Homo-oligomer: A and B are copies of this chain.
Amino acid sequence: MGHAVSSQNVDIRRVAAEAGVSIATVSRVLNHPERVSPETRARVLETAARLGYRPNPNGKRLRKGRAETVGLVIPSPQGRFADSFFLELLAGLGEGLSEAGLDLLVATCPPGSDELACYRRLVEGKRVDGLVVARTRRYDERIAYLLERGVPFVAHGRSDLIAEPYPYLDLDGREGFYRAARRLLQLGHRAIAYIGAPREFNFALHRLEGYRQALLEAGVPLRVDWILEGDLSEESGYRLAGGLLEAPEPPTAILCANDLMALGVLRALRERGLRAGREVSVIGYDDIPQAQYADPPLTTLHQPFREAGRRLVEMLLARLGGAPVAGLQEVWVPELVLRGSDGPPQGERRFP
């Protein structure tokens, strides 16, 4: 009945005194309830609740030698931070972690500073028990570092050039773009260009590979002047699309390694009076929020980032619990969501 007390500074000692037991017992009630008799357990729980007792995390952390915290480093680029990926991931991570009673430590890495230093600060400063590594690169020095130090972590995305096994959850860009390209081929397209991502990123090669495979299977020869590399920005999509469209023989479809570049392509089309989904088909990748408000709404590959975040937490928890890496490698297939930016090619069209 007693309502909450001014829980200003109630520690385990206070609870113990109030309940007429030793602090060890209080601790046991909270951490190993089965090792204490039901009567005392009930009594302790009651007084703890009455006093509003919350174990001080720092005492706990110090004693247990753990941080009870998981880290995430977000690179924060110079300009606008258009990247909702991290926010979605964050939501998933946060939900999963709070259920597990762990804290989430977020460090942002300013553009200039080297990223690895941020990781070092968290790891060597014992601020986290484990980490989530996002946006993996082809050879990812962060992963190499964490493996070398034996720090538990999970990666969102693979890093193909790292031999040693580690836990990851990846979205299958190869399969995704294989499906996207097949969609275009089935619509009748044969002149399909590809605007890719910097080779540094691991996913860049996977996506390109999906595109190649689909075309080769369909007997469509690859054209080297239709395989471009952007920097993932809207601007670069716009620029590269301009080049493609001005060429004597422009493609009838353009596949983009991310939505931002696809939006740039849409802009380039609009400027030339071309309609996406009619004269030229465009497919993106990521399904960022803007995609559905684009004109026309962008056909793209959806990646369930929030769900990925939740799953990553489960995997990390397993890893922290000592589970072997073997069972902790997953690849999900992104879903092709059809909107308005793709359609059958229009045979008669010709533009300079």
Contacts and interface: CB of A to CB of B under 8 A. Distances in A.
Interface of A: 7, 52, 54, 56-59, 61-62, 67, 69, 74, 76, 80-84, 86-88, 90-91, 93-95, 98, 103-108, 110, 118, 121, 124-127, 234, 263-264, 267, 270, 289-290, 293-295, 306
A118 B97 CA distance: 13
A86 B87 CA distance: 8
Given A57-B126, A58-B61, A108 B95 contact: yes
B76 A67 contact: no
Nearest to A72: B106
A146 to B, nearest CB: 15
The 10 A-B pairs with the shortest beta carbon distances in the complex, nearest first, are A94-B108, A82-B289, A76-B91, A58-B62, A58-B61, A106-B106, A290-B290, A81-B87, A80-B289, A62-B62
Contacts of A107: 94, 98, 103-104
A111 to B, nearest CB: 10
Contact of A82 (B84, B91, B263, B294): B84
30 contacts: A54-B124, A54-B125, A54-B126, A56-B62, A56-B126, A57-B125, A58-B58, A58-B61, A61-B62, A74-B94, A76-B91, A80-B84, A80-B88, A80-B289, A81-B87, A81-B91, A87-B87, A90-B108, A93-B108, A94-B106, A98-B107, A98-B118, A98-B121, A103-B107, A104-B105, A234-B293, A267-B295, A270-B295, A290-B290, A290-B293
Contact of A94 (B7, B76, B125): B76
A327 B248 CA distance: 64
A293 B263 contact: yes
A108 B309 CA distance: 12
B106 A104 contact: yes
Contacts of A69: 105
Nearest to A77: B91
